[in-house]
Amino acid sequence: MSPVGSAIRSDSDLGYGGGRMRIKPWVLPAAMLTGALLGLLIGASLGERWADPSVEPFVLFVRMLGVVFLSALKALIVPLVVTSIVVGVTGMGDLRRVGKAASATVVYFMTTTFLAVVTGIVLVSLINPGSHAVGNAAAAPVELAKAVAQTPARAIYDVITSMFPSNIIAAAADSNILGLIVFSVTIGIVLSLMGPAAKPLNDVIVAANDALLKLVRFLVWFAPLGILGLVADRIGKAGGGAVVWQELAGLGWYAATVMLGLLVHAFINLSALLVFIGRRRWWPYARGMVDALLTAFGTASSAATMAVTLQCVVENNKVARRAADLVIPLGTTVNMDGTALYEAVAVIFIAQSMGIELSFAQHLLIAVTATLAAVGAAAIPEAGLVTMVLVLGAVGLPAEGIGLLLSIDWILDRFRTTVNVWGDSIGAAIVDRMVPADDAAVPTNRY
């Protein structure tokens, strides 16, 4: 065995289970939850003084914990997307399987996103939170409105052109993940077609991917501190517990509608798909995803969470690499159930609070454009707020309506990002079941 191989004797040495450390599976999630709660406590109690020079060293220390953790996660995105997708495609073996997996993935993404939107529309129509709205609109976010595509045609154009970057290095630097995915799928297909001649390069990519996932397993142990830093800093910047509570209470009906919708979608719609189509038991699967779900909550970014999602899906939930490696990077970028649901609720809430009645056709238009806006949203904090301009424009509402929701968007963002990640993880289990293993494929389950 090589010196490197003998230094780390088994996969479980750095993780849970029967290795040298024998750490119980609940320790890390419990530590992450504690980190989130401590962050909440610190940010809420110190928030009023967050910008005060007397506490600056402490604030900077707390902020540093979050920034370093977030940067470490983000640094993994580009190499992980490229190697995972290539491993996923070559791991399928027969290229017809890639086609089958891709269609199953797209059908899953589209159906669940649409289901999320419909759930949101039904709830917001029944609850009618707009009738309780208090007029606390922030300044009109004109720059937000200008930042995005304002028509569905433009949004589709933007998504399709971003799939074909002219410079792959620039695509990586600009976080054009969709462009990287298309590039990597193409390389994966070419490697599959080359057969044995591609083996050396394949081996390198598989080993690189294995190494990155091992790194993630190490990194997640810093998540409790990272989450503490991120949560405390965000609440602190918002002004502390009293301010946040006041803002939340002002938009309480709206926030409650979004949260209820997210709960229904996560616990009923998606969970039913996991159990009945993915044929997985709910509790073990959910337990296996806890690290990723808490990281999503802490970072408010599915892209930053992607590495942990992949690790949880593959290692804790034993989803085959060929499915996870395709579905997770793609899902992170385009499948955002929580975002779609929230956009639909938010737009109808804005209409309700302005006293505007929407027709059935307009509801339908909201459903379609919210799905599109969620696909177009980047997997970063509060991206959904920006793409909402598209949905508002489609039904003739002013982009300034977003001002109503600005103050608490960062809170709801954390919950919808968690649902986005949960949806991706279930997609991986379903595609795994729909596209069984091909014995002739390049072996990829070494990790």
**Contact letters for ligand ASP, residues 328-367 (x by CB under 6 A):** --------x--x----------------------------
> Which residue of this chain has its Cβ atom nearest to ligand ASP in the complex?
384
Closest CA to 237 of 44, 399, 426, 433: 44
429 near 108, Cβ under 8 Å?
Answer: no
Stretch that binds ligand ASP, among 66-74, 81-89, 128-136, 415-423 (CB under 6 A): 415-423
Q: Where are the alpha helices (DSSP H) in 55-151?
A: 56-91, 95-127, 142-147
Shortest distance (Å) from residue 331 CB to ligand ASP: 10
Closest CA to 247 of 15, 407, 374: 407
CA quadruple 38, 267, 300, 73: dihedral sign: positive
Closest to ligand ASP by CB, 41 or 110: 110
Query: Is 113 among the residues that bind ligand ASP (CB under 6 A)?
Result: no
Closest to ligand ASP by CB, 59 or 388: 388
Question: Rounded to an integer, what distance in angstroms lies between the CA atom of residue 52 and that of residue 48?
Answer: 8
426 near 278, Cβ under 8 Å?
Answer: yes
Query: Is 382 among the residues that bind ligand ASP (CB under 6 A)?
Result: yes
Closest to ligand ASP by CB, 98 or 327: 327
Shortest distance (Å) from residue 377 CB to ligand ASP: 5
Q: Binding ligand ASP by CB under 6 A: which of 83, 105, 271, 302?
A: 302
Query: Is 380 among the residues that bind ligand ASP (CB under 6 A)?
Result: yes
295 near 220, Cβ under 8 Å?
Answer: yes
Task: Return the SS3 of 16.
Answer: strand
Query: Is 300 among the residues that bind ligand ASP (CB under 6 A)?
Result: yes
Q: Which two tokens stand for residue 410?
A: 């960062």
Q: Which residues contact 146 (CB under 8 A, 6 or more apart)?
A: none
Size, binding site for ligand ASP by CB under 6 A: 16
Query: Is 416 among the residues that bind ligand ASP (CB under 6 A)?
Result: yes
Shortest distance (Å) from residue 253 CB to ligand ASP: 20
For residue 199, the one-letter residue type is K
Query: Is 112 among the residues that bind ligand ASP (CB under 6 A)?
Result: no
Stretch that binds ligand ASP, among 177-185, 306-314, 346-354, 372-380 (CB under 6 A): 372-380
> Backbone dihedral region of 279: left (phi > 0), alpha (psi from -120 to 50 degrees) or beta?
left
Query: Is 417 among the residues that bind ligand ASP (CB under 6 A)?
Result: yes
Stretch that binds ligand ASP, among 278-286, 313-321, 388-396, 409-417 (CB under 6 A): 409-417
Long-range pairs, 282-285, Cβ under 8 A, ≥24: 284/317, 285/317, 285/425, 285/426, 285/429
> Backbone dihedral region of 318: left (phi > 0), alpha (psi from -120 to 50 degrees) or beta?
left
Q: Binding ligand ASP by CB under 6 A: which of 230, 293, 327, 379?
A: 379
Closest to ligand ASP by CB, 183 or 415: 415
242 near 53, Cβ under 8 Å?
Answer: no
Shortest distance (Å) from residue 420 CB to ligand ASP: 4
Closest CA to 223 of 332, 303, 296: 296
Query: Is 381 among the residues that bind ligand ASP (CB under 6 A)?
Result: yes
Q: Which two tokens stand for residue 223?
A: 């998540």
Q: What are phi and psi of 16, to 5 degrees?
A: -85, 175
Q: Which residue has the tokens 């002004």?
A: 239
CA quadruple 310, 333, 323, 105: dihedral sign: positive
Shortest distance (Å) from residue 286 CB to ligand ASP: 19
401 near 395, Cβ under 8 Å?
Answer: no
**Contact letters for ligand ASP, residues 243-282 (x by CB under 6 A):** ----------------------------------------
Q: Binding ligand ASP by CB under 6 A: which of 257, 316, 407, 420?
A: 420
Query: Is 384 among the residues that bind ligand ASP (CB under 6 A)?
Result: yes
For residue 299, the one-letter residue type is T
Shortest distance (Å) from residue 223 CB to ligand ASP: 17
Closest to ligand ASP by CB, 83 or 302: 302
Closest to ligand ASP by CB, 31 or 377: 377
Stretch that binds ligand ASP, among 17-25, 45-53, 360-368, 411-419 (CB under 6 A): 411-419
Query: Is 413 among the residues that bind ligand ASP (CB under 6 A)?
Result: yes
Question: Rounded to an integer, what distance in angstroms lies between the CA atom of residue 102 and that of residue 325?
Answer: 12
Stretch that binds ligand ASP, among 40-48, 115-123, 141-149, 374-382 (CB under 6 A): 374-382
Residue ranges that bind ligand ASP, judged by CB under 6 A:
300-302, 336, 339, 377, 379-384, 413, 416-417, 420
